[in-house]
Amino acid sequence: MISALERTITLTDMVAYAGATWDWHPLHYDGGFVAKKKLPGPVVDGQMLGALMAEQVLDHFGPRAFLTALSFRFTSMVFAGETVRVEGAIAEQDDTSARIKQRVLVGDRLAAEGEAKVRL
Q: Structural domains in the chain?
A: 2-10+43-119 (3.10.129.10)
Q: What is the pTM of this model?
A: 0.94
Instruction: List Cα–Cα distances, 53 to 37, 99, 103, in angstroms.
Output: 28, 13, 8
In the structure, what pLDDT confidence band is assigned to residue 106 with cuts at 50, 70 and 90? very high
Q: What is the pLDDT of residue 114?
A: 98
Partners of 1 in beta bridges: none
Per residue in 44-61, pLDDT (tens digit) is 999 999 999 999 999 999
The torsion angle over the Cα atoms of residues 17, 18, 22 and 25, rounded to 10 degrees, is 150
* 4: Cα separation from own chain's centroid: 12
Please write the tens of the pLDDT for every residue from 28-49.
Answer: 999 999 999 999 999 999 999 9
- Give the pLDDT score at 90: 98
